[in-house]
Structure 1
Amino acid sequence: MRNVKWVAAAAGVVLLVAGCGSEGGSDKGGSASVTGGTGASGSGGGKLDAAAVTKEIEAAATGAGFAQDSSGDDIAPELKDCMITWTADAEKAADPVKSYGGTITALTGGGWKELRSNEMNGSVIKSLEKSGWTLQASNHAQGPLKMVMFVAADSGPECAAKIAADNEKARQSS
Protein backbone atom coordinates (compact mmCIF):
# COMPACT_ATOMS: atom_id res chain seq x y z
CA MET A 1 0.00 0.00 0.00
CA ARG A 2 2.91 2.35 0.71
CA ASN A 3 4.06 2.04 -2.91
CA VAL A 4 0.64 2.85 -4.35
CA LYS A 5 0.38 6.03 -2.27
CA TRP A 6 3.87 7.07 -3.35
CA VAL A 7 2.97 6.51 -7.00
CA ALA A 8 -0.21 8.55 -6.62
CA ALA A 9 1.80 11.38 -5.09
CA ALA A 10 4.35 11.12 -7.90
CA ALA A 11 1.54 11.30 -10.43
CA GLY A 12 0.34 14.47 -8.77
CA VAL A 13 3.80 15.93 -9.27
CA VAL A 14 3.73 14.83 -12.91
CA LEU A 15 0.42 16.60 -13.41
CA LEU A 16 1.58 19.69 -11.58
CA VAL A 17 4.61 19.90 -13.84
CA ALA A 18 2.49 19.17 -16.90
CA GLY A 19 0.19 22.04 -16.04
CA CYS A 20 3.13 24.42 -15.73
CA GLY A 21 5.08 23.10 -18.69
CA SER A 22 3.30 24.68 -21.63
CA GLU A 23 5.64 26.83 -23.65
CA GLY A 24 4.21 29.93 -25.25
CA GLY A 25 0.67 28.82 -24.48
CA SER A 26 0.64 26.15 -27.15
CA ASP A 27 -0.25 22.53 -26.55
CA LYS A 28 2.35 20.54 -28.43
CA GLY A 29 0.99 17.25 -27.17
CA GLY A 30 -1.95 17.02 -29.56
CA SER A 31 -5.26 15.54 -28.47
CA ALA A 32 -5.67 15.05 -24.75
CA SER A 33 -8.16 12.21 -24.95
CA VAL A 34 -7.35 8.79 -23.55
CA THR A 35 -6.95 6.17 -26.25
CA GLY A 36 -7.64 3.36 -23.82
CA GLY A 37 -5.31 0.75 -25.24
CA THR A 38 -5.51 1.40 -28.96
CA GLY A 39 -1.82 0.74 -29.25
CA ALA A 40 -1.13 4.06 -30.93
CA SER A 41 2.56 4.38 -31.40
CA GLY A 42 2.85 8.14 -31.39
CA SER A 43 4.43 8.18 -34.85
CA GLY A 44 2.90 10.59 -37.28
CA GLY A 45 1.54 12.71 -34.43
CA GLY A 46 -0.70 9.94 -33.05
CA LYS A 47 -1.63 9.79 -29.37
CA LEU A 48 0.38 7.40 -27.24
CA ASP A 49 -1.39 4.99 -24.92
CA ALA A 50 -0.09 3.52 -21.67
CA ALA A 51 1.23 0.35 -23.34
CA ALA A 52 3.21 2.35 -25.91
CA VAL A 53 4.67 4.63 -23.22
CA THR A 54 5.68 1.60 -21.15
CA LYS A 55 7.31 0.01 -24.18
CA GLU A 56 9.29 3.17 -24.97
CA ILE A 57 10.52 3.62 -21.39
CA GLU A 58 11.40 -0.06 -21.03
CA ALA A 59 13.32 -0.10 -24.32
CA ALA A 60 15.25 3.06 -23.43
CA ALA A 61 16.03 1.95 -19.85
CA THR A 62 17.04 -1.63 -20.64
CA GLY A 63 19.04 -0.44 -23.63
CA ALA A 64 20.96 1.86 -21.29
CA GLY A 65 21.81 -0.94 -18.87
CA PHE A 66 18.92 -1.04 -16.40
CA ALA A 67 16.84 -4.06 -15.44
CA GLN A 68 13.34 -3.50 -14.15
CA ASP A 69 12.81 -3.87 -10.41
CA SER A 70 10.20 -6.62 -10.29
CA SER A 71 8.83 -5.33 -7.00
CA GLY A 72 7.77 -2.13 -8.76
CA ASP A 73 4.76 -0.05 -7.84
CA ASP A 74 1.21 -1.13 -8.53
CA ILE A 75 -1.14 1.26 -10.29
CA ALA A 76 -4.80 1.31 -9.28
CA PRO A 77 -6.90 -0.45 -11.95
CA GLU A 78 -8.83 2.74 -12.72
CA LEU A 79 -5.53 4.53 -13.51
CA LYS A 80 -3.95 1.86 -15.78
CA ASP A 81 -4.79 3.82 -18.95
CA CYS A 82 -3.63 7.10 -17.39
CA MET A 83 -0.26 6.42 -15.82
CA ILE A 84 2.61 3.99 -15.71
CA THR A 85 5.64 3.46 -13.51
CA TRP A 86 8.88 1.77 -14.40
CA THR A 87 11.35 1.32 -11.55
CA ALA A 88 14.93 0.43 -12.38
CA ASP A 89 16.93 -1.94 -10.22
CA ALA A 90 19.67 0.64 -9.70
CA GLU A 91 21.62 -1.71 -7.41
CA LYS A 92 22.22 -4.10 -10.32
CA ALA A 93 23.22 -1.45 -12.87
CA ALA A 94 26.96 -1.20 -13.49
CA ASP A 95 26.75 2.61 -13.41
CA PRO A 96 23.25 3.89 -12.55
CA VAL A 97 24.16 7.51 -13.28
CA LYS A 98 25.43 6.61 -16.76
CA SER A 99 22.41 4.34 -17.37
CA TYR A 100 20.05 7.14 -16.34
CA GLY A 101 21.75 9.52 -18.76
CA GLY A 102 21.59 6.90 -21.51
CA THR A 103 17.89 6.37 -20.86
CA ILE A 104 17.19 10.10 -21.14
CA THR A 105 19.25 10.30 -24.35
CA ALA A 106 17.31 7.39 -25.86
CA LEU A 107 13.96 8.90 -24.87
CA THR A 108 14.79 12.34 -26.29
CA GLY A 109 16.12 10.64 -29.43
CA GLY A 110 12.74 8.92 -29.68
CA GLY A 111 10.77 12.15 -29.65
CA TRP A 112 10.40 12.92 -25.93
CA LYS A 113 11.04 16.62 -25.37
CA GLU A 114 12.87 17.62 -22.19
CA LEU A 115 10.95 20.40 -20.46
CA ARG A 116 13.12 20.96 -17.40
CA SER A 117 15.75 19.42 -15.18
CA ASN A 118 16.27 19.87 -11.45
CA GLU A 119 19.28 18.72 -9.51
CA MET A 120 19.58 18.81 -5.75
CA ASN A 121 21.87 16.95 -3.36
CA GLY A 122 22.95 14.49 -6.05
CA SER A 123 19.40 13.68 -7.18
CA VAL A 124 18.20 14.58 -10.66
CA ILE A 125 14.60 14.85 -11.81
CA LYS A 126 13.88 15.51 -15.46
CA SER A 127 10.47 16.29 -16.93
CA LEU A 128 9.81 15.18 -20.47
CA GLU A 129 6.72 15.22 -22.68
CA LYS A 130 5.49 13.45 -25.74
CA SER A 131 2.13 13.07 -27.38
CA GLY A 132 0.02 14.19 -24.42
CA TRP A 133 2.11 12.36 -21.80
CA THR A 134 4.38 13.88 -19.16
CA LEU A 135 7.23 11.80 -17.78
CA GLN A 136 9.15 12.36 -14.56
CA ALA A 137 12.51 10.60 -14.72
CA SER A 138 14.01 10.51 -11.22
CA ASN A 139 17.59 9.51 -10.45
CA HIS A 140 18.39 9.16 -6.77
CA ALA A 141 21.36 6.83 -7.32
CA GLN A 142 23.90 8.95 -5.44
CA GLY A 143 24.39 7.89 -1.84
CA PRO A 144 23.19 4.88 0.13
CA LEU A 145 19.65 4.66 -1.28
CA LYS A 146 19.80 3.93 -4.98
CA MET A 147 16.50 4.53 -6.73
CA VAL A 148 15.77 5.33 -10.35
CA MET A 149 12.14 5.64 -11.36
CA PHE A 150 10.15 6.71 -14.38
CA VAL A 151 6.55 7.85 -13.79
CA ALA A 152 4.46 8.93 -16.76
CA ALA A 153 0.93 10.29 -16.79
CA ASP A 154 -1.47 11.16 -19.57
CA SER A 155 -1.88 14.90 -19.12
CA GLY A 156 -5.35 15.06 -20.67
CA PRO A 157 -8.30 16.30 -18.60
CA GLU A 158 -9.97 12.89 -18.22
CA CYS A 159 -6.84 11.32 -16.72
CA ALA A 160 -6.07 14.42 -14.66
CA ALA A 161 -9.50 14.08 -13.05
CA LYS A 162 -9.00 10.35 -12.38
CA ILE A 163 -5.56 10.91 -10.82
CA ALA A 164 -6.77 13.83 -8.72
CA ALA A 165 -9.67 11.71 -7.42
CA ASP A 166 -7.28 8.86 -6.58
CA ASN A 167 -4.92 11.27 -4.80
CA GLU A 168 -7.82 12.68 -2.77
CA LYS A 169 -8.98 9.17 -1.85
CA ALA A 170 -5.43 8.30 -0.71
CA ARG A 171 -5.14 11.51 1.29
CA GLN A 172 -8.44 10.85 3.07
CA SER A 173 -7.41 7.29 3.97
CA SER A 174 -4.12 8.46 5.52
Structure 2
Amino acid sequence: MRKVKWVAAAAGVVLLVAGCGSEGGADQGKGGGEAPASGAATPAEQGAGTLDAAAVKKEIAGAATGAGFTEKSGDDVPASLQACMVSWGPDGKKVTDSKQSFDGTVAALVKGGWKETRTSDQPMSVIKSLDKSGWTLKASHQGKAGSLLVISFIAVDNGPTCAKAFQEDLAKNKQ
Protein backbone atom coordinates (compact mmCIF):
# COMPACT_ATOMS: atom_id res chain seq x y z
CA MET A 1 0.00 0.00 0.00
CA ARG A 2 2.81 2.45 0.84
CA LYS A 3 4.44 1.68 -2.51
CA VAL A 4 1.28 2.73 -4.31
CA LYS A 5 1.24 6.02 -2.37
CA TRP A 6 4.86 6.77 -3.37
CA VAL A 7 4.19 6.01 -7.00
CA ALA A 8 0.95 7.98 -6.98
CA ALA A 9 2.66 11.02 -5.43
CA ALA A 10 5.53 10.85 -7.91
CA ALA A 11 3.16 10.31 -10.82
CA GLY A 12 1.18 13.34 -9.65
CA VAL A 13 4.32 15.43 -9.89
CA VAL A 14 5.05 14.04 -13.35
CA LEU A 15 1.48 14.80 -14.48
CA LEU A 16 1.66 18.28 -12.98
CA VAL A 17 4.80 18.97 -14.97
CA ALA A 18 3.13 17.67 -18.10
CA GLY A 19 0.34 20.20 -17.60
CA CYS A 20 -2.32 17.69 -16.59
CA GLY A 21 -2.23 18.12 -12.81
CA SER A 22 -4.03 21.42 -12.35
CA GLU A 23 -7.74 21.73 -11.94
CA GLY A 24 -7.83 25.50 -11.90
CA GLY A 25 -8.45 26.94 -8.46
CA ALA A 26 -5.84 29.22 -6.97
CA ASP A 27 -2.90 28.10 -9.09
CA GLN A 28 -0.80 31.06 -10.01
CA GLY A 29 2.13 30.88 -12.36
CA LYS A 30 5.21 32.64 -11.00
CA GLY A 31 7.90 34.12 -13.14
CA GLY A 32 5.86 33.35 -16.26
CA GLY A 33 6.62 29.66 -15.86
CA GLU A 34 3.64 27.41 -16.24
CA ALA A 35 4.06 23.69 -16.67
CA PRO A 36 4.83 22.79 -20.27
CA ALA A 37 1.84 22.01 -22.44
CA SER A 38 1.20 18.36 -23.15
CA GLY A 39 3.75 17.20 -25.68
CA ALA A 40 6.24 19.98 -24.90
CA ALA A 41 9.72 18.83 -24.00
CA THR A 42 10.91 19.33 -20.43
CA PRO A 43 14.48 20.56 -19.80
CA ALA A 44 15.61 16.99 -19.06
CA GLU A 45 14.12 15.77 -22.33
CA GLN A 46 15.95 18.58 -24.13
CA GLY A 47 19.22 17.33 -22.65
CA ALA A 48 19.57 20.22 -20.17
CA GLY A 49 19.24 18.10 -17.03
CA THR A 50 22.48 17.94 -15.07
CA LEU A 51 21.31 16.80 -11.66
CA ASP A 52 21.05 13.20 -10.52
CA ALA A 53 19.24 11.89 -7.44
CA ALA A 54 22.38 12.24 -5.27
CA ALA A 55 22.80 15.91 -6.23
CA VAL A 56 19.12 16.62 -5.60
CA LYS A 57 19.35 14.90 -2.19
CA LYS A 58 22.36 17.06 -1.33
CA GLU A 59 20.57 20.28 -2.35
CA ILE A 60 17.41 19.44 -0.42
CA ALA A 61 19.51 18.36 2.58
CA GLY A 62 21.26 21.72 2.55
CA ALA A 63 17.93 23.56 2.57
CA ALA A 64 15.82 21.24 4.71
CA THR A 65 17.97 19.66 7.42
CA GLY A 66 18.41 22.83 9.47
CA ALA A 67 14.65 23.42 9.31
CA GLY A 68 13.96 20.03 10.88
CA PHE A 69 13.20 17.96 7.80
CA THR A 70 14.76 14.60 7.04
CA GLU A 71 15.05 12.31 4.05
CA LYS A 72 12.30 9.71 3.95
CA SER A 73 13.25 6.10 3.48
CA GLY A 74 12.81 4.76 -0.02
CA ASP A 75 12.38 1.19 1.22
CA ASP A 76 8.87 1.00 -0.20
CA VAL A 77 9.88 2.53 -3.56
CA PRO A 78 10.65 0.05 -6.34
CA ALA A 79 14.35 -0.16 -7.21
CA SER A 80 13.59 1.03 -10.76
CA LEU A 81 12.26 4.33 -9.37
CA GLN A 82 14.75 5.07 -6.59
CA ALA A 83 17.08 7.01 -8.91
CA CYS A 84 14.08 9.01 -10.17
CA MET A 85 12.76 10.52 -6.96
CA VAL A 86 13.78 12.00 -3.63
CA SER A 87 11.45 12.53 -0.67
CA TRP A 88 11.82 14.58 2.52
CA GLY A 89 9.44 15.18 5.39
CA PRO A 90 9.35 16.58 8.92
CA ASP A 91 11.24 15.13 11.84
CA GLY A 92 8.61 15.58 14.57
CA LYS A 93 11.31 16.08 17.19
CA LYS A 94 12.99 18.95 15.33
CA VAL A 95 10.20 20.93 13.65
CA THR A 96 8.66 23.38 16.11
CA ASP A 97 6.96 25.81 13.70
CA SER A 98 6.10 23.73 10.64
CA LYS A 99 4.95 26.63 8.44
CA GLN A 100 8.05 28.71 9.20
CA SER A 101 10.28 25.68 8.57
CA PHE A 102 8.46 24.94 5.31
CA ASP A 103 8.71 28.56 4.09
CA GLY A 104 12.40 28.74 5.06
CA THR A 105 13.17 25.52 3.20
CA VAL A 106 11.39 26.71 0.05
CA ALA A 107 13.21 30.06 0.25
CA ALA A 108 16.58 28.28 0.61
CA LEU A 109 15.81 26.08 -2.40
CA VAL A 110 14.89 29.14 -4.50
CA LYS A 111 18.09 30.84 -3.39
CA GLY A 112 19.95 27.69 -4.48
CA GLY A 113 18.62 27.96 -8.02
CA TRP A 114 15.28 26.14 -7.91
CA LYS A 115 12.72 28.16 -9.87
CA GLU A 116 9.24 28.42 -8.39
CA THR A 117 6.90 27.67 -11.28
CA ARG A 118 3.50 27.18 -9.67
CA THR A 119 1.84 27.94 -6.34
CA SER A 120 -1.50 26.96 -4.90
CA ASP A 121 -2.15 28.82 -1.64
CA GLN A 122 -5.39 27.95 0.14
CA PRO A 123 -6.33 28.63 3.79
CA MET A 124 -4.88 25.34 5.12
CA SER A 125 -2.86 24.16 2.13
CA VAL A 126 0.19 25.46 0.30
CA ILE A 127 1.63 23.54 -2.61
CA LYS A 128 4.59 24.85 -4.57
CA SER A 129 6.28 23.43 -7.63
CA LEU A 130 9.94 24.21 -8.14
CA ASP A 131 12.04 23.21 -11.15
CA LYS A 132 15.75 22.83 -11.64
CA SER A 133 17.77 21.07 -14.26
CA GLY A 134 15.19 18.52 -15.35
CA TRP A 135 13.74 17.88 -11.88
CA THR A 136 10.46 19.08 -10.37
CA LEU A 137 10.11 19.39 -6.63
CA LYS A 138 6.62 19.52 -5.16
CA ALA A 139 6.66 21.15 -1.73
CA SER A 140 3.45 20.67 0.23
CA HIS A 141 2.26 21.95 3.62
CA GLN A 142 -1.32 20.87 4.35
CA GLY A 143 -3.28 21.04 7.57
CA LYS A 144 -2.26 22.57 10.88
CA ALA A 145 -0.41 21.57 14.02
CA GLY A 146 -2.55 19.75 16.53
CA SER A 147 -4.66 18.12 13.83
CA LEU A 148 -3.80 16.37 10.59
CA LEU A 149 -0.60 17.95 9.26
CA VAL A 150 1.13 16.66 6.13
CA ILE A 151 4.41 18.19 4.97
CA SER A 152 6.44 16.80 2.13
CA PHE A 153 9.12 17.65 -0.38
CA ILE A 154 9.07 15.19 -3.28
CA ALA A 155 11.44 15.71 -6.20
CA VAL A 156 11.01 13.76 -9.44
CA ASP A 157 13.33 13.46 -12.44
CA ASN A 158 11.33 14.55 -15.52
CA GLY A 159 13.60 12.85 -18.05
CA PRO A 160 12.26 10.27 -20.48
CA THR A 161 13.95 7.33 -18.71
CA CYS A 162 12.22 8.09 -15.42
CA ALA A 163 8.90 8.95 -17.08
CA LYS A 164 8.97 5.53 -18.71
CA ALA A 165 9.86 3.84 -15.39
CA PHE A 166 6.92 5.57 -13.62
CA GLN A 167 4.50 4.60 -16.40
CA GLU A 168 5.66 0.96 -16.32
CA ASP A 169 5.31 0.80 -12.54
CA LEU A 170 1.82 2.33 -12.64
CA ALA A 171 0.75 -0.15 -15.32
CA LYS A 172 2.14 -3.03 -13.26
CA ASN A 173 0.26 -1.86 -10.14
CA LYS A 174 -3.06 -1.57 -12.03
CA GLN A 175 -3.04 -5.32 -12.68
TM score, norm. by length of structure 2:
0.78
User: Quick check: 2:49–2:135 contact (8 Å CA) kept in 1?
Assistant: no
Paired residue type of 1:102: G
Question: Equivalents in 1 of 2:45, 2:72: separation in Å?
Answer: 33
- How many equivalent pairs are there? 158
Paired residue type of 1:100: F
Pair 1:3 & 2:25 matched: no
Which 4+ stretches in 1 moved above 6 angstroms? none
Question: Equivalents in 1 of 2:45, 2:134: separation in Å?
Answer: 7
* Cα root mean square deviation, aligned: 2.5
Pair 1:22 & 2:36 matched: yes
Segments of 5+ residues of structure 1 without an aligned counterpart are 34-44
Per-residue deviation, 1:66: 1.3
Per-residue deviation, 1:120: 3.2
Among 155, 158, 162, which residue is 2:158 paired with?
155
Question: Equivalents in 2 of 1:108, 1:145: separation in Å?
Answer: 27
Among 147, 165, 170, which residue is 1:167 paired with?
170
Per-residue deviation, 1:15: 0.5
Please state which structure has a larger fraction of its residues in helix.
Answer: 1
User: Quick check: 2:4–2:173 contact (8 Å CA) kept in 1?
Assistant: yes
Residue 114 (structure 1) aligns with: 116
User: Quick check: 1:3–1:73 contact (8 Å CA) kept in 2?
Assistant: no
Equivalence map 1:13-52=2 (5 Å): 13-20=12-19, 21-22=35-36, 29=43, 47-52=50-55
Question: Equivalents in 2 of 1:73, 1:121: separation in Å?
Answer: 33
User: Quick check: 1:32–1:157 contact (8 Å CA) kept in 2?
Assistant: no
Question: Equivalents in 2 of 1:66, 1:95: separation in Å?
Answer: 10
User: Quick check: 1:66–1:99 contact (8 Å CA) kept in 2?
Assistant: yes
SS in 1 for 2:18: helix
Paired residue type of 1:139: H
Segments of 5+ residues of structure 2 without an aligned counterpart are 20-34
SS in 1 for 2:70: coil
Question: Equivalents in 1 of 2:150, 2:92: separation in Å?
Answer: 6
TM score, norm. by length of structure 1:
0.79
